[in-house]
Structure 1
C-alpha cells in the first residue's frame, strides 16, 4: 500500500514541481523512492492472471509500469495541466512514440521546418520509408500551414520557441486550425518547460518534452515525456509498453529531483539570457541576435502572450561566417562546447556543423541557419562572468573575420 499525494488542483507550478506525484510507501520515506527492479511479484496465480488481463491494478514488469516512473509522469502531467503523461527513454523517443502511437502508413504530417535536426531526420529519412509523409512549412506563416493541409493530414507538429532561432509559433491559431481539420496539434515545449508555457491551455492536444534538458537541469540523464488527454495517449503508451523505449527508474528519479528547482532555474536562465542578448545586440561583431525577449524579435508580442518569461536560449549571427563562429567557440573558457542545452552550465554550439549538420544545405538555408550562427544555452553562472567570456570570444571572432577577408 502507498500513501496517495494530496489533491493539487489549486497548487501553483512551483509547488507542483515539488509535491505532485508523491506516493509514499509503507516505509514513509520523505524523498521519492527509487524502485530498481525489472519485475514485480504476485500474491497468487489468480492475481497474476488478473494483472495481465488488465482487470486488476498493479505492476507487472518495469517496461510497462514502475512506481518511480509513474511518479514522474504524474508530476509532469500536473505541471502541464494534462490528464496523463507517458515517459520515454529520451526526447527523440518521445517524438517517435508520438508518431508511431498516433499515425499509420498513408497519413500526412505538417511540421515546422524550424525544428531539431534529429526530428527532421526522423520524419524524412526514417518514418518516410514506412509511408508517413511530412510537409515542412515556415513556423510563423499560418497561411503556409493551411495550404499544406491535405485530406489525410492527421498531425501538426512544431517547436516554440524553435531550435535554434527562437521563432515563435502561434499555438492558439494552429490549435484552431488542427481542430477544424480533424487533426491533432503536438507542441515540443522543451525550451520553455511548463513553468514558462502551457501549450495545452492554449489548445494543443499533446506536449512533448526532452527531460534531458531543463527538466533534469544538470545534464545528467536522458529522458522524454508526452503529456495530454488520457484517450489520446493510449496509442503512445501501448507503443512504449510493446516496443520498449521506456524511461529507466533511475533516470526518472533523477529527473524528479531536478523538477524541484525548475521554477527557480528558469527565472535565472531567462534573466541571464536577456542581459546577454541585450549586450550582444550592441556588439559590432554581431549581425543579428535571436531572442524572444528583445524588442527586435519580430514575434516578441506573441511570445509575451504565450510565455511567462523568454527562456534561456538565444542565438546570434556573427559577421565573418564559420571562421568567426569557430574562433569564438575555441576562445571561450566558461561556455561548454557541447550540443546539449538546458543545463545549469552555459553551453555553446554551432548548429550548421552539429545539431543540423545532417540537414541539407538547402534546408538549413530555408530555416535561416547560416554558417555564422551560434546558439547559446545560458546557464546559472554569474552573468558578468558570462559576458566577459563572450567578449573574449568576440575579439577572437573579429580577428578571424579580418583574416578571412569577411
Structure 2
C-alpha cells in the first residue's frame, strides 16, 4: 500500500471503520438470539424463523429511503439517524409484549442497518481515489465481518455471566450509543477527508446513463458535502442507470445469492450427513475463518489487476464448489468432502470481500452516488434474501443435493455475467498509486 493510501485509510478509522465494527459487533451479538426472544413470547419454530427474516426485509426496505436521506442531509447526519433508529428498534426488542411487536422491532433494526450501511458506502464512494478504492471498501467489508464474527462470542459470554438473553440487546444498545457519539463527536466525515473531484479520469460513465456532471479531475481536493444541485432523485436515477442495474446489478445479485446460500447449505448439509452440532460448527467456523483471513487480499487484487480478477475466481470457486458438493452426499468419506468444499467456499467468499461495495462505487454517478447505491444495494440484498428461499423450496420439492447444485449453476452463470459486464461498465484502476 502506498503512503498516500495508508494515510487516507487511517483517517477513515474514527469515522467509518470504528463505527462499522461497533455496529456489527452489537448486531452480531443480537442476531443469534432473536429466535430465542421470539420463543419466549410464544412463537413456534416457523414463527421464530419468520420474525428473524424481518431483519432482511427491513434492510431491503431501507436501502432506497437511505439513498434519499444521504442525498438530502449528507453521510454524517444519515449515519446518526440510522443509529438513532437502531436505538428505537433495540429498545423495543427489550420491552416487546408480543411477537408482532418483536417482529416490528427486528424490522426497524434491519431498516437502520441499511441506512447506516449506505451512508458509509456513499462516503467511501465520493472520498476514496479510484486507485485504492477496492482496498478501502474491502477493509470496510472486513470491519463488518470482524464485528459479526465476534458478536456471537460476546453474546455467549454475556449469557454465561448474566444468564439473560436480553443482555445481548443491552450490549447492542451500548454499541449503538458509542457509534452515534463517535459519528457526531468525532471528525466530521464531510470535511475531515477531502472529496476528490470526479470525472472521466476517475471512472467511466456507465453506458446508456449520461452523467452530465462529469468533469475533468483538476487534482485539487473538494471539501465539504457533495453538491446538492442537479440531483436527479431516487427513481429518476434508477431509470437513468437502468442499463447497468439490469446487467451488472443482476450479476452482483447472483454473487449475493451464492454467498447467502453458503450460510444456509453448509449447516443443513452437515446435519443431513448425521454429523453432530460440534463438528458442523467446527467446519463452518473454519470456513468462516478462511473467509475472514482473505478479506484484504481481495482489495489488493482488485486495485492491482482489476475487479474481474477477484470477482471471477470467487464466483467460479463458489459455483464450482456447490456443484461438486452436490455429488458427494452419498459417496464414501462424505464428511471429508463436506469439510473440503466448505473450505473452498470459504476461499471463494473471502476473495469476494468488498466486491459488491466496489462495483457499486465504480458504477455510481460521480457527484450524487447515494440514490444509485440505494438501488444497487436493494438488488444485492434481494439476491441474498431470495437464495435461502430457493434452497428451502428445492430441498422440500426434490432434494438438498439438487438445491445445492442449483446454487452452483447460479454461481457459474454469475461468473459468465461478470465476464460480460464488468469490462463494459467498470473502469480499470490506475496503477500509479497501488
Q: TM-score, normalised by structure 2?
A: 0.27
Greater fraction helix: 2
Greater relative contact order (Cα < 8 A, sep 6+): 2
Structure in which a larger fraction of residues adopt strand:
1
